Amino acid sequence: MPKVFNIIIDNIKNNITLTTLAVFIASGIYLLVIDRIDLSIKGFKRELNAVTIIGLLYIFGSLAVFILLKYLF
């Protein structure tokens, strides 16, 4: 099983680029800026909270995964 895990990690490590990071960060910014405004106008409070959390996770999660895989493994 560890051999399979190492193969998967190496595959992900080789495929994550700055472009991938930029796409995830742009998605998070889109959620935080555009979708939050739209949901607040429509009055969807629960969805507004979910979009805020997901947007922040996209931004900081993608940065953490990128740094973890590129520099620590």
Residue with tokens 């805020």: 52
Nearest to 9 by CA among 51, 64, 69: 69
- Mean pLDDT value across the chain: 94
pTM greater than 0.75: yes
Give me the domain span that covers residue 51. Answer: 2-72
Q: How many CA atoms lie within 13 A of 33 on its CB side?
A: 7
Average pLDDT over residues 42-64: 97
pLDDT in tens, 56-66: 999 999 999 99
Counting the structural domains of the chain, the total is 1
Average pLDDT estimate for 38-65: 97
